[in-house]
Amino acid sequence: MRNLFMKVTYDGTHYFGFQTQPEGNTVQDMLEQAIAHLTGETVKITASGRTDAGVHAYGQPFNFETASQIPLERWCLALNARLPEDIVVTEAYEVPLSFHSRRAAKRKTYRYTINGNRFPDPFQLRYQFHHPVALDVPAMEEGLKKLIGTYDYTSFASRKSTKTSHVRTIFSAHMEIDRSMCRPDSSDQGVIHTYITGSGFLQHMVRIIMGTLIQVGEGKRKPEDITGILAACNRAAAGPTAMAKGLALWNVSYEDPGEQAGVTGSKKL
Amino acid sequence: MRNLFMKVTYDGTHYFGFQTQPEGNTVQDMLEQAIAHLTGETVKITASGRTDAGVHAYGQPFNFETASQIPLERWCLALNARLPEDIVVTEAYEVPLSFHSRRAAKRKTYRYTINGNRFPDPFQLRYQFHHPVALDVPAMEEGLKKLIGTYDYTSFASRKSTKTSHVRTIFSAHMEIDRSMCRPDSSDQGVIHTYITGSGFLQHMVRIIMGTLIQVGEGKRKPEDITGILAACNRAAAGPTAMAKGLALWNVSYEDPGEQAGVTGSKKL
C-alpha cells in the first residue's frame, strides 16, 4: 500500500462543507468518487480538518491509502479530470504509511475577507462579506492581537462543539487592506483580509472571532473588550458568527523544514 | 430632461453580451429593465461600446435621458436593488444633454487574463483563459508593442465587422505577471494580464490580438511576424480568436482632466 498526500483547492459555495454528510454533496464525497473512478478502489480520505458549508480552501491537505501503482506525477491531472471544475487537486506526494493529515498538522491559517467598498464586487460575490459601512480597522486589529496566545476559546466556539478541551494556540494574526479596487473620491475602504494562524480551530471559531471584530470595527465594542470575552468562556459573551462565504482555509503546514519527517523528502509531483 | 452618466461593473458569464439582442438576456436589457422599474419610464441607454457574450466589464460607461427627479446619490443603490447581483452600477453623474457615452469616449482599456499556472484556479474560472503550457512572455510583449500606433487593424478584426474604416490607434499596451498564486517548486508561470489602451477596438480585436500573441508565446510565430500580419490587412494572417472569458473592459476615459467638459464639473455621486 502507498500513502498519498495531496492538497486541494475548492470553491465551497455549492457544497455542504468538506466532510461527508448524510445528505451528500461534500468535497470529500467528490474526492472519494474521483479516486474510486480512477483506481476502482473504495477509499476513505483523511483531511487536515473539516470546513463548513460555503467555506472555501486554497490549500486543504488530505491523504489516503491506495494499492494503485499510478505514477505520482499523473495523479493531479487524472483526479482533476474526474472532479467538478470548482475542486482542483494541486499537489501530490508519497508519504510514510504512518503519516496522518490531521494529526501531523502543526499550523493552520485561515483568511477572512470583508469587502469594505461601497458596492459589492460582482467578480468576488461568493468570496467576500460585503460591509460598506465604515469599519475602524486599526481597532479591529488591536482586538485581534489580544487573541494571540494559548487560551480557552470557549467564547469563540459553537455551542455545538463536542471537543473536550477548548484550549488552542493562536500563533499570529494580522489584517491587510487591498485598496486596488477602490474608486477614487469614494467612500470605498478597500478589501480587508484577516489572516489567523493557530494550532487548530474550534467549530465556527474564525467566524465568531470575525463577527466580534466587526462589532469592534463598528464601534459597538472596544478592542480591550476582547480580553473579557475570552475570560468569560461563554459563547454568549462574543459577537455573531460571520457569514461562511468570506472564509477560506488558506494554508496548513506540517513539521518545520529541518525536522520534517512526513512530507519533505518524499517523492514530489 | 436630465442626462445621467453611470458606470457599471458586470460578470458577463451569463449574458449574451452587453448590447440588446433579439434573444434577450443582455446587460443592456437588465439595466433598461431596472431603470423602467425604478422610474416607470421606457429608456434606451447608450454605452461606450458593446462587449461580446461572456466578456466582463470593470467599468462600462453608459448614459440615458430621464425625466425622473430622483436625487443623483440614490441612483446606484436604487438600480442595484433592481439588478441581478452580477451587474453592479458603481458611479452616477449628471452631464450636459449633449453628452454621448460612445462618441465622447477618448480611450478604452481592455484587460485579457491568462492563467499560466499548471492547474486552473477554481475562484477565477470564469475570468481566465487557462494555458498551463509554457509561454515566452517577453516575446509576447515584444509582439504586443509592435501593435502600438495608428494602423489599419483589418487582420485583427472579425470578418463580420461592418465598419467602413478599420483604422484605429493603440496608445499603449503592456503585460503584467502576478505570481502571488504560484506554488513554490512548480511549473507555475503566474497569472498573465495584458492591458491594451486604444481609441477604439474592432469586433473581436483584442481577442484576435491575444490569440496571435499566444502563438508567439508558444513559439509558433515570432514577435516580428506581427508587423507582417498587420500589413496583410487580412484576417487569415492572424491567429485564432482567444476565449471570451479572459477579456474584460477595464476602463474608458473621456476628456483630459484639464479640458473635460462633459463629466468633470458635473454633480457626482
Residues placed in the known binding site of B for substrate: 110
Quick check: is B60 in a domain?
Answer: yes
> Rounded to an integer, what distance in angstroms lies between the CA atom of residue B129 and that of residue B168?
26
HEC assignment per residue over A117-144? CCCCCCCCHHHCEECCCCCCHHHHHHHH
Please indicate, yes or no, whether residues B112 and B156 belong to a single structural domain of this protein.
Answer: yes
From chain A, the residues in CB contact with B127 under 8 A are 123
Quick check: is B226 in a domain?
Answer: yes
What is the distance in angstroms between the Cα of B163 and the nearest Cα belonging to chain A? Answer: 32
Q: What is the dihedral of CA B27, B31, B34, B40, to 10 degrees?
A: -140
Give the mean pLDDT of chain B.
94
Longest Cα–Cα distance in chain A: 62
* Interchain proximity A120–B85, CB inside 8 Å: yes
| Mean pLDDT along residues B251-260 | 68
Please indicate, yes or no, whether residues B23 and B68 belong to a single structural domain of this protein.
Answer: yes
Quick check: is A266 in a domain?
Answer: no
Q: Closest to B119 (Cβ–Cβ): which among A80, A125, A185?
A: A80
Please indicate, yes or no, whether residues A125 and A237 belong to a single structural domain of this protein.
Answer: yes
| CATH number of the domain to which A139 belongs | 3.30.70.660
From chain A, the residues in CB contact with B80 under 8 A are 119-120
What are the pLDDT digits (tens) for B89-147?
999 999 999 999 999 999 999 999 999 999 999 999 999 999 999 999 999 999 999 99
A-B Cβ pairs (cutoff 8 Å, strict): 58
What cell does B114 get?
491568462
pLDDT of residue A262: 45
Q: Is A52 a catalytic residue?
A: yes
What are the pLDDT digits (tens) for A65-113?
999 999 999 999 999 999 999 999 999 999 999 999 999 999 999 999 9
Q: Which helix (H) or strand (E) holds B38?
A: helix B27-39
B217 closest CA partner among B111, B129, B143: B143
Q: Is A53 exposed, middle or buried (0-12, 13-18, 19+ CB in 10 A)?
A: middle
From chain A, the residues in CB contact with B90 under 8 A are 118-119, 183
From chain A, the residues in CB contact with B125 under 8 A are 85-86
Under the banding of pLDDT at 50, 70 and 90, the label for residue A265 is: very low
Quick check: is A143 in a domain?
Answer: yes
- Alpha-carbon separation of residue B143 from B40, B135, B167, B212 (angstroms): 51, 13, 19, 9
pLDDT of residue A186: 86
- Chain B interface disruption, residue of A10, A60, A90, A193, most B CBs within 10 A: A90
What cell does B164 get?
467602413
Identify whether the C-beta of residue B8 lies closer than 8 Å to the C-beta of residue B27: yes
Inform me whether the pLDDT recorded for B45 exceeds 70.
Answer: yes
pLDDT of residue B255: 80
Q: Which residue of B has its CA nearest to A119?
A: B90
Q: Closest to B76 (Cβ–Cβ): which among A90, A119, A268?
A: A119
- Chain A interface disruption, residue of B123, B250, B263, most A CBs within 10 A: B123
Q: What is the dihedral of CA A93, A97, A101, A105, to 10 degrees?
A: -100
Under the banding of pLDDT at 50, 70 and 90, the label for residue B265 is: very low
| Mean pLDDT along residues B13-29 | 95
Residue B172 structural domain: 107-250
What is the distance in angstroms between the Cα of B122 and the nearest Cα belonging to chain A? Answer: 5
Cβ-based interface (< 8 Å): residues of B facing A:
9-11, 56, 76, 80, 85-91, 118-123, 125, 127, 183, 185, 268
What are the pLDDT digits (tens) for A183-205?
888 899 999 999 999 999 999 99
Quick check: is B266 in a domain?
Answer: no
Q: Which residue's entry shows cell 480585436?
A: B205
* Interchain proximity A127–B122, CB inside 8 Å: no
Please indicate, yes or no, whether residues B68 and B112 belong to a single structural domain of this protein.
Answer: no
Quick check: is B131 in a domain?
Answer: yes
- Alpha-carbon separation of residue B231 from B159, B166, B196, B205 (angstroms): 16, 12, 20, 15
Under the banding of pLDDT at 50, 70 and 90, the label for residue A260 is: very low
Please indicate, yes or no, whether residues B59 and B156 belong to a single structural domain of this protein.
Answer: no
What is the distance in angstroms between the Cα of A11 and the nearest Cα belonging to chain B? Answer: 6
What is the distance in angstroms between the Cα of B233 and the nearest Cα belonging to chain A? Answer: 36
What are the pLDDT digits (tens) for A30-77?
999 999 999 999 999 999 999 999 999 999 999 999 999 999 999 999
pLDDT of residue A266: 45
Q: How many domains are contained in chain B?
A: 2
Inform me whether the pLDDT recorded for B10 exceeds 60.
Answer: yes
Strand, coil or helix: B227: helix
pLDDT of residue B65: 97
Please indicate, yes or no, whether residues A146 and A53 belong to a single structural domain of this protein.
Answer: no
Please indicate, yes or no, whether residues B119 and B92 belong to a single structural domain of this protein.
Answer: no
What cell does A218 get?
463598528
Please indicate, yes or no, whether residues B139 and B197 belong to a single structural domain of this protein.
Answer: yes
What are the pLDDT digits (tens) for B181-221?
998 888 999 999 999 999 999 999 999 999 999 999 999 99
Please indicate, yes or no, whether residues B111 and B232 belong to a single structural domain of this protein.
Answer: yes
What cell does B144 get?
504586443
Quick check: is A264 in a domain?
Answer: no
Please indicate, yes or no, whether residues A175 and A73 belong to a single structural domain of this protein.
Answer: no
Which ipTM value was assigned to this complex?
Answer: 0.90
Please indicate, yes or no, whether residues A114 and A244 belong to a single structural domain of this protein.
Answer: yes
- Alpha-carbon separation of residue B220 from B144, B170, B210 (angstroms): 15, 24, 14
Quick check: is A33 in a domain?
Answer: yes
Among the options A11, A52, A121, A225, which is catalytic?
Answer: A52
From chain A, the residues in CB contact with B122 under 8 A are 9-11, 85-88
pLDDT of residue B155: 98
What are the pLDDT digits (tens) for A115-163?
999 999 999 999 999 999 999 999 999 999 999 999 999 999 999 999 9
Percent of chain B with pLDDT over 90: 91
| CATH number of the domain to which A12 belongs | 3.30.70.580
Please indicate, yes or no, whether residues A112 and A213 belong to a single structural domain of this protein.
Answer: yes
